[in-house]
Amino acid sequence: MQKDESIRLLDFVMITLGCCLYGLGLAVVNIPNHLAEGGITGVTLILRALFGIDPALSTLLINVPLILIGYRFLGKRSLIYTIFAYDVHVTSCLRFLPLSFPDPSRSLRGPRLNHYQ
C-alpha cells in the first residue's frame, strides 16, 4: 500500500483553524489566569512568568532544534506543515495577546462581586 505524501489545502485550513483557536485560548485563558501547560508551551509560560520573555520568541528558540530533528525523521511534508503551523500559531498569539491583559490597577483591588462595592 502506497503512502499519500501530497500536501492538501484542507490540511492548511484545518491547521490554521486549530492554531488560531489554540493561540486565542492561550492568550485569553491561560496567560491571564496564570495557568500552566505541558510541553514547550508550558516552558514558554514559565519563562514569561519568571523573566518576562515573550512566549512567541521563546517558542521559536526552543522549537528550532526540534523542527530540525523532526525534518530528519519525518520528512519534507511534515516540515512544511510544522513551519506553517508555527507561523500561524505565533501570529495568532501576537494578535490575541493584547486581548488578555486587563487594566492592572483594577486587579489590585480584587474582583467586584456586586455593584455595591
User: Considering the chain, what is the average pLDDT of its residues?
Assistant: 77
Residues in CB range of 95: below 8 A, 6 or more apart: 23
pLDDT at 115 over 60: no
pLDDT at 104 over 50: no
C-alpha grid cell for residue 77? 511534508
pLDDT tens sequence across 19-70: 888 877 877 787 778 777 788 888 888 888 899 888 778 888 888 898 899 8
Which residues in 72-84 are b (16+ Cβ under 10 Å) and which e?
A: eeeeeeeeebbeb
pLDDT at 100 over 70: no
